[in-house]
Structure 1
Amino acid sequence: MLIGEMTNPVSFALNRPGYLAKLLNLEDAGVLQRLYEQCTEFALLTDGQPPALTAAREEFDVVPGGKTTQDKYIFGLFAPQDDLIGMIESIRYYPDDQTWWLGLMMLSPEHRGQGLGKEFYRAFENWVAEQGLKQMSLSVIEANDPGLQFWKGLGFEMLRKTEPRQFGNKTHAVYVMSRAVATTA
């Protein structure tokens, strides 16, 4: 199945009752910005500074070379009260036509440690599998050991470690990781 023939490009459910992931658009930048601000510790770890006031707005426009905003998917995770508590930013067909790249996943601090992040990722991967892609890839900065352990726990394997590069006020080496997408039954 090709991406243009998506089975459900708008949302996917988690196994947890009342939790739903919905495709976000530019009009959702305000609510997404609040999530960025709740997750300030990640911005401080990565960039050495709090998220910019325009971070969520810019998230909708930033794509790697050779890709367009049509290739970008930002899903928001909504709790039963319809509060945005998490997000996944991703790029289809990157770096090749069988891979979906996960650029960023955030979960509000009060919802961590309950298995919700794993459920969110697995539901996302199931949705990606329905689109016919075969592989998920992502990167983790070397300083983010909890993130590295999280992704390893989900079956991601390290492909390589990059040379250090600049992220805001900080410099980090990056672990590039990948895993085969579970096929849908």
Structure 2
Amino acid sequence: MARWRKKYGKESDQMKRNYHVKFLNEKDTVLVEQICAECEDYFKIEQGRTANSDDARAILTDLPEGKTRFDKFVMAILDEEESPIGLIDVVTDFPKKGEWIIGLLMLVPKARKAGMGRVLHQVIQDWAIDGGASSLRIGILEENEAAKGFWEHLGYQKQEEKMAQYGDKTHQVGVYTLQI
């Protein structure tokens, strides 16, 4: 516990005791749907609508070109009562060896602004370093101001901009990276 306190801060002690991670597979679509439904604000920004079962399935199964299911990890963050409070999607060595992409780090509204995102990011960063990564990457929708502020506060820097289509919406997406 002392190592955790030193690395993540005193306020994180309580959070560490109050959550755990469950690795997901295609059988967990209902759980992913539940988290997505609670995070409707994100899906309204991304797609202009609330999430549906196809979106949940896509989170679990969609892969970047050249990657396999063994390169992708989707995890639910559950509280002590097994209620979902977040979702993480990470793909290793994409788009290049040594760079891991965080496809999603999403927290339900009641879990936001309490330091949980920072703690989860540190866990991802430590895991990536242990796995041989030298950088992390994330795409941020230009209109998602809260997300931009969060990732920039963690030290991510914009490398490029791309256009992407999600649902019926076209977005300018900032590609941010962090050297670890």
TM-score band w.r.t. shorter chain: 0.7 to 0.9
Work out the CA distance in 2 between the residues paired with 1:83 and 1:124.
Answer: 21
For structure 1, the 5+ residue unaligned runs are: 1-13
CA RMSD, aligned part only? 1.4
2: distance between equivalents of 1:73 and 1:53? 19
Q: CA deviation at 1:57?
A: 1.9
CA distance in 2, matches of 1:84, 1:165: 28
Match of 2:174 in 1: 175
CA distance in 2, matches of 1:25, 1:177: 27
Query: How many percent of aligned residue pairs carry the same amino acid?
Result: 26
- Scaled by the length of structure 2, what TM-score is found? 0.87
Find the aligned partners of 1:129 and 1:165 in 2 and give their Cα distance. Answer: 29
- Measure how far apart 1:22 and its partner are: 2.5
Name whichever of 47-56 and 151-160 sits farther off: 47-56
In the alignment, residue 22 of structure 2 is paired with which amino acid? K
Q: Displacement of 1:169 after TM fit? A: 1.6
Measure the CA separation in 1 of the matches of 2:166 and 2:56. Answer: 17
Q: CA deviation at 1:61?
A: 1.5
Q: Which amino acid aligns with 2:129?
A: A
Tell me what 1:10 maps to.
none
Q: CA deviation at 1:153?
A: 0.7
User: Partner of 2:74: helix, strand, or coil?
Assistant: strand
Other-structure match for 1:119? 119
Residues 73-152 of structure 1 mapped to structure 2, 5 A cutoff: 73-152=73-152
1:43 is aligned to 2:47: no
TM superposition shift of 1:18: 2.9
In 2, distance between residues paired with 1:112 and 1:18?
14
Q: Deviations over 1:100-119 (max 9, x none)?
A: 11111110011111111111
Which secondary structure does the structure 1 equivalent of 2:96 belong to? coil
The size of the alignment, in residue pairs, is: 167
| Aligned partner of residue 173 in structure 1, secondary structure | strand
The Cα shift of 1:24 comes to 1.4
Report the AA paired with residue 59 of structure 1: I
For the Cα contact (< 8 Å) 1:139–1:177, is it kept in 2? yes
What TM-score results when the alignment is normalised by the length of structure 1? 0.85
Q: Which has the higher contact order (CA 8 A, sep 6+)?
A: 1
Structure 2 stretches of 5 or more lacking a match?
1-11
Residue 114 of structure 2 aligns with an amino acid whose one-letter code is Q
**One-letter amino acid of the counterpart of residue 69, structure 1:** R
Structure having the higher helix fraction is: 2
Residue type of the alignment partner of 1:55: D
